[in-house]
A and B are shown apart, each in its own frame.
Chain A
């Protein structure tokens, strides 16, 4: 969808390369986005929140100014948001979640069940071949399976 209708679409790119009006529009849009990014990227001083709080508290009623919360606000420094703080641990958390999921799947027996399904499927195929083309050829096609099944048949699948 994005490949055909997004900004990266080939027909759009080729049109822009040949249309001066669209080029001008694209340049001016880029300029606005650049200016917005510059505005966002420019940091303020660390003490600005503290000073703003102090100035704002200064015009409130005397009783409010004397509150302990007001005193705390006068010394507050901006803190990064929880998402920003946790952002750098994102990859580690992802890896850990993947490991826990695999362990959980092993614990509840999903992998062993899958293994059992596969084994039983192969056994059925071997029996089919044995019935259709003979035991010798079936043993040639499924040699390992034959050995395994001869050593023990855990699910009780009947041999022909």
Chain B
């Protein structure tokens, strides 16, 4: 009697997991289709391989748990926006941590030296800090257009705006970044 119940339970489990796998196979297809572009975008935003892997993992974890495993209507938009948000959150956390660990003296030294200003690492980090501070609508366009290298039409489709608006947002984002970079001097 006990063995019969056990075998029934096992059969039920196998059937349920088979159905779930069948229903969520699209996650692997999404990973295959958009994975390379996502990794490139995350790498450019974060600049650290372990952080890229973590952000990528979180993105697909959120995708798998979207409304109880339902496939979003626009998978590409969901994946890119989620990855972008996760990456920026990580970037902000990293910046806060760095600020806490290194005191105000170290920060002043880093910006004071003119030789450091032309250093590529310094420039990239400075830009990342400012990208994290941009308003969300400008930051999304900049990340998708410049870091993920998507066309304005694709950016517009992902964010639900027209390509013209995406162009304007990108221009504003660049102007804002330039202003912040010049103020730092």
Contact = CB atoms under 8 A, between A and B. Distances in A.
B139 to A, nearest CB: 13
Given A52-B53, A55-B56, A31 B21 contact: no
Contact of A27 (B17, B44, B49, B182): B182
B124 A38 contact: yes
A73 B31 contact: yes
Contacts of A70: 28
B27 A60 contact: yes
Given A25-B182, A35-B124, A69 B44 contact: no
B77 interface: no
Contact of A42 (B32, B57, B124): B124
A19 interface: no
Contacts of B49: 44-45, 48, 51
Interface residues of A, number: 40
A38 B123 contact: yes
A157 interface: no
B127 A32 contact: yes
B182 A64 contact: no
Contacts of B31: 53, 56-57, 73
A44 B52 CA distance: 10
Contacts of B29: 69
B120 interface: yes
A24 B182 contact: yes
Contacts of B175: 29
Nearest to B17: A63
A31 B32 CA distance: 35
Contacts of B47: 39, 42
B43 to A, nearest CB: 4
B18 to A, nearest CB: 7
Contacts of B24: 60-61, 64
Contact of B44 (A39, A48, A67): A39
Contact of A78 (B17, B36, B53, B56): B36
Interface in A6-64: 24-25, 27-29, 31-36, 38-40, 42, 44-45, 48-49, 51-53, 55-64
B100 interface: no
A16 B93 CA distance: 40
Interface string B147-183: 1010000000000000000000000001101110110
Interface string B49-75: 100111011011100100000000000
A127 to B, nearest CB: 60
B36 A49 contact: yes
A110 B60 CA distance: 59
Contact of B127 (A29, A35, A42, A45): A35
Interface of A: 24-25, 27-29, 31-36, 38-40, 42, 44-45, 48-49, 51-53, 55-64, 67, 69-70, 72-73, 76, 78-79
Given A25-B182, A49-B39, A59-B61, 13 more contacts: A32-B178, A38-B120, A44-B39, A44-B43, A45-B49, A48-B49, A48-B52, A53-B35, A56-B59, A61-B17, A64-B24, A73-B31, A78-B36
